[in-house]
Every structure is written in structure tokens, then in C-alpha cells.
Amino acid sequence: MRLNPIHSPQASRLRRAVRGLSDPPTATAWNAGELADVFDASLPRRPAAVLVPFVGRGDDLFVLFTRRSERLRHHAGQISFPGGGVDAGDADAVAAALRETHEETGIEPALVDAFGYLDRLDTVSGYRVTPVAGFVDESYCARLQEDEVDEVFEVPLAFIVDPASLSRERILWRGIERDILAFQWEGRRIWGATAAILKNLLDRLEAAR
């Protein structure tokens, strides 16, 4: 399938901001030091990958998110990017991200133009996540895996990059006070690892000006 090419100032800046597909991130996560008080650095991290999907509509870009099922045992109802653990059969993080995206949302890999990486992120649940940036063709039709995903929705990239959209909150996690990042969009709270990935995107976009 031939994808509709996305040509806009936003898209060009995104391409400059990410690491190219020939330059995957190193093993160390950019936030590894921040988790020293909650996770033993000597323990192995399970590799995972997520797709950070951008949808072009006219001259504007939107970021696609999923809302996890309320029936899940872990992270129920949270906003996330589609993705999951890297399986032995996955050729690389890109393959894992596209496979998981298809399984969770029904978006075919042929509708995704993966164009780069953000920096790796460690999570408090023991994963080392490689975010894969990709343009998703606007013709996609979501078919949700209802056991895992309750909703797919889009947020304007212009909202994400607005400094006023990002807030810092303080939470108590396992008896330890932690600072977290969050975005609020139409009653949905985007926080945790998803917000941290977005912050890495913002930092890289700023450097790419």
C-alpha cells in the first residue's frame, strides 16, 4: 500500500528531532538515574517498544493515544502509546512496536511509516522502552482489542508542544514522593511513562529548532 506522504513544517521538524532508523538509542535509558531509589540498577530490564504515532490531517499533526481497558489488572484506564514487550520473533524495536500496535488497535503495519526513535526510557515496572516514531496514514480504521484497549483518540501536536499544557505533579509511590509530568486533554490525564516520552520529544524538538 502506498502511503500518503506527510509534508509540513511540523513533520520536517519531527524528522530532524528524532534519531534516525540507522541510529537506534543506546542501551542506557535517559532517565535511569531518576529511578535509582525505586529500582535496583543491577536487575535486568525487559525490553519493550511503543509506537509514538503521528497522524497528518491537512497541514496539522495529531498524536494518537490509547486508553487502556478498565478490566486490566495493571495500569487500568491509563493513557498510553500502543506497544509492549519485545518478543523473540521480533526483528527489532520497530517490528515489535508495529506488531503490538496492530494487535491492540487494528492499525495495519502497512499504514505506518516508521521514521526514527526517541530515547530509551526505564519504567518503574521494570521495562526498558524504545519509543518508535511513526506517521500513521489518516485513512486508518481502528479495530480495538477490547481486552486491552477501550479507546483510541488523537491530540493536536500543537497542544502537546505548548509549554502551558505540561504540568508537574507530586505523587506518593511505594512510600516515596516523586515528581511526575502530566498533560490534561478533554478530561483525559496523560501522565507517567507516556508523559515522560512526550517530554523527551519536546526536548528533542527544542534542540531541532
pTM: 0.91
Q: Which tens digit of pLDDT belongs to each residue from 113-161?
A: 999 999 999 888 888 999 999 999 999 999 998 888 999 999 999 999 9
CATH code linked to domain 9-160? 3.90.79.10
State which amino acid sits at residue 86.
V
DSSP 110-177: GGEEEEEE---EE-TTSEEEEEEEEEE-TT------TTTEEEEEEEEHHHHH-GGGEEEEEEEETTEE
Closest by CA to 47, choosing from 74, 29, 34, 30, is: 29
Which residues of the chain, if any, have pLDDT below 50? Answer: 1-2
What span, in angstroms and rounded, lies between the C-alpha atoms of 180 and 178?
6
Q: Where are the domains of the chain?
A: 9-160
